[in-house]
Every structure is written in C-alpha cells, then in structure tokens.
Structure 1
Amino acid sequence: MPDDRPIIDPYPLSPYVAWAGNRNKDAILKAFKEFFPTRGDALEVATGAGLHINYLAPHFPHIRFQPSDYDQGVFETIKRKRLEGDNNNIAYPVLVDLAVPSTWPDAREQLNDVIFVINVFHVAPVSIADGIAALGAKLLKPTGFIAIYGPFKIDGKYTTSSNEAFDREIRETGVPEWGLKDVRDIERKARKHGLALRRQLDLPASNFILLFGRS
C-alpha cells in the first residue's frame, strides 16, 4: 500500500475517495477527451462528493453535466464544489438509485449523449450493471454511450499483479459485494438491455474505461 494512501473507505466524503479521485482524474480527463462529444448532455451516476464532475466540466464547456447519487447527503458537497469552481454547466444534483427505477429521470424530458460512472464497481455488487444498462437503454440518445471507469478482471483473470493484490485487500474486509468484477459479466448484463461493449481503454494504475453503446 502506498504510504500516502488512506485506509480504503468507499464513503463518498472519505479521505480515501478524495485520494483516489485526485490520483486518477487527469488520466480520466485525457481519455474522456478522446470520445466525448463537443456539445450535448452527460449524466454521472454515483457522483459522490463531485470531484470528477467538477474537474471535467471546465474542459467541456458545451456539455451540460447532470450529477446524481442515491445518497442525498452528498448533494450539498456537490453544489459547494460547483460554486467554488464556477461551473455553470453543471446542473443541481438529482436522486438516482440504480436499484429503484422510479427514481430515474424521465426520458421524455431529457436524453443523454453520455452516461458515466467512476470507481464504483469494486465496492458495489455486479447487479448494479443491470441498473446502469437499463438506465442507458432508457436515457441514452441513439448514438449515446455509457462510460464505466475502474479496475476489472477479464475472463476471470487479473490483468496485473497490483490488481490481484488490490482485490485481495478489499475482499479481506469481509464486505460481500466488494471485489473486482469481470468485464464479461458486465457485458452479459448490458446485452440484456440492447447494449454492447464498443471499446475497452487501458488507463494508468491498472484501470480501464469500458464504453457501451446500443447494439
């Protein structure tokens, strides 16, 4: 474990989440610049403290960013970061619980060019892939896509020894849903909702971005 890394804690306002977000934000921005549209609408799922969306927004001035989370306790932090950064292209956060479709936005009011989720799957059950895919099937424009960032296994195997060690570390916490998920399992969930894996980008620190679009 790096000496400066806080104890793993997935709570959005924890020191660990802040450390991890600052560590990977530049790599995510660089990758997003490759495939984000020049203008349009982007929904972030599980925004948490709002670090990434507030870091991304100034680099995409013609994108309207919509933060969301199932925990309304983080909304004030998201809004404060928005004001501190003067990010007028970020909307106020809304409630989106992937396990409760009744909380999802109305497709008649807004469709999205991008739906993205960052650093969630290793501390969430793989079943949330169903929710993300169903949300995408409902709220994506015809050419829109879902971008999922984080560490993953592929075909049941670790891609690096550091990911294997990280997976072992988070599983040792004893929390049942914690652990690296397999890209193939997420693909299977996506196919049920008419989505297919279009690209798989390798990023630093043994992370990936998975891009899903309509089949």
Structure 2
Amino acid sequence: MADKPPVALEDRGEGGDGRRYSPSAERNREAIRDVLRAHLSVPARVLEIASGTGEHGAFLVGEMPGLEWTYSDIDGPSLESQRAWRAASGSSQLLGPMEVNAAKGDWGVAEALAPWDAIFSANMVHIAPFEAAEGLIAGAGRLLRTGGKLVLYGPFGREGIIAPSNAVFDDSLKGRDARWGVRDLDRELLPLAGKAGLVLETVIQMPANNLTVFFRKD
C-alpha cells in the first residue's frame, strides 16, 4: 500500500451497475455490525480506510441509524465500486469515496474533515507493507477526536502465538509479497498505538480466527 494499490485475495463479482461484490464482506458483515453496535456510540462519523468493494459501509448505514460512513481507498476499481454502492444506496449517510493512502503522513481531504469519531479498517494491515499499519495508526492518532475509536478487523497474532489457520495464511501472504503478513497485535501494533496516543480498549474474537480490535484515543 505504500507504493501501489493492494491486490484482492478473492474473486470479486461485478454487477451491471458498477458495484463489486466480496464473498468475505458478505460473510462477516453481520458479525462486524454486532460488535460495532455494542462498542461504538452513535451518532458517529466514521472514516473507513481501504473500503474495498464498499459493501461494509452500504450495509452498516442501513443497519445502524445515526452512522455516517465515509469511504476511502487508493485502488481505482475499488473507488469506482464504492461510488456505485453509494449511488445505489441513496443514503445521505454514505459519503466519499476519498483517495487516502494510509501509509502517507497526510491523508488529504480526510485531514480537513477531522476530527472523526471512529476510523475503521478491515483486512488491510496484513495485505500491505508494514508501513501501511504504521501510517494507519499514526493517522488515527492525528485525526480521531478525544475518546474516538480505531477499529481493526482481521487475523492477528497475540504475543507471538498465531492460530494454525492464520499461520498457513501468513505463509501464503509472504509467498505473494515478502512485505505482507499477519501482524502481531501485542508485539507489533500496540507499540505503534502507544506512540500515537491510543490505548487498547477491547479485543473481540470473531468467526474464522479473526479479531475485532478497538483502540481509544485518550
């Protein structure tokens, strides 16, 4: 992500209206909705980093009244799909997309629209160079309001321990790009969070050995 758009790890179907469809987004959207309902106060302005097809935002604004969701990405086809999902939804609560490269020190328009109540990113930090994780967490430190949340969803290791299925996935990722890989929440991400003024609030076990991680800006 530091120097080129990410590569999708799954086949994404396309509709005739420009919307693209992600099998993993369809599988995990209800579980993500449930944890956001439980741990994110609404109304809330949420910036999504690496929004992919755009399905998460379109689904969540329909399920959580008071949620305002802004797409962002650096991948051209993904940005096009997000525009199509916004148009199809007809919701005034679905905004963007903006072009944001998480690895950069300036997120452009997203900086001007700060502070955000939450920043959400699903399945990005492992499918990108580590600079993307560094930039994402630093950006959250800059752009979140006091008490705002950084919410990460995906596979993570904990204290050097990784689930067997995630270890296989990690090997597969590194086989594609040596800079990619499943990140260790405690050893790699928590030190970055501390430097950015974020504290770990809660970690929730999700299906298929994924986690949803909430950091809070103090």
TM-score by length of 1: 0.86
Name the residue aligned to 1:4.
none
Kindly report which structure 2 residues correspond to 1:59-208, keeping only aligned pairs within 5 A, or say none.
59-105=63-109, 107=111, 109-158=113-162, 160-173=163-176, 175-184=177-186, 185-208=188-211
Inter-CA distance 172–99: structure 2 relative to 1 (3 Å threshold): closer
> Take 1:11 and 1:151, find their aligned partners in 2: how far apart are those partners?
16
CA RMSD of aligned residues (A): 2.2
Secondary structure of 1:102's counterpart equals coil
Output the amino acid matched with 1:177: R
In the TM superposition, residue 105 of structure 1 has moved relative to its aligned partner by: 3.4
**Residues 98 and 110 in structure 2, CA contact (< 8 A), matched pair in contact too:** no
Partner of 2:16: none
Q: Could you say which residue in structure 1 is the equivalent of 2:62?
A: 58
- Bigger mean CA offset, 13-22 vs 34-43: 13-22
Aligned to 1:3: none
* 2-structure distance, mates of 1:147, 1:109: 19
Sequence identity, in percent? Answer: 26
Counterpart for residue 11 of structure 1: 8
Q: Secondary structure at the match of 2:142?
A: helix
Which segment drifts farther, 148-157 or 129-138? 129-138
Q: Counterparts of 1:103 and 1:152 in 2: how far apart (Å)?
A: 25
Q: In 1, Cα distance between the equivalents of 2:181 and 2:114?
A: 34
1:200 partner letter: V
Deviates more, 1:175-184 or 1:144-153: 175-184
CA–CA separation in structure 1 for the residues paired with 2:86 and 2:110: 24
CA apart distance, 1:171:
2.8
TM-aligned CA deviation for residue 88 of structure 1:
2.2
What is the letter of the counterpart of residue 192 of structure 2? Answer: K
- Structure 1 gaps of 5+ residues are 1-8
101-110 or 138-147, which deviates more: 101-110
Cα offset for 1:107? 4.5
Partner SS, residue 98 of structure 1? coil
On the 8 A contact 2:145/2:217 being kept in 1, the answer is: no
For structure 2, the residue ranges without an aligned partner over 5 or more in a row are: 1-5, 14-20
Label 1:81 to 1:188 Cα distance change in 2 as closer, same or farther (>3 A): same
* 2:103–2:133 CA contact under 8 A, matched in 1: no
In the alignment, the residues of structure 2 paired with residue 43 and residue 11 of structure 1 have an alpha-carbon distance, to the nearest angstrom, of: 21
SS at match of 2:34: helix
- Note if contact 1:113-1:140 (Cα within 8 Å) is conserved in structure 2: yes
TM-fit CA distance, 1:199: 0.9
User: How many correspondences in the alignment?
Assistant: 205
> CA-to-partner distance for each residue in 1:69-99, whole Å, 9 max, x for gaps?
1224422211111222222211121111112
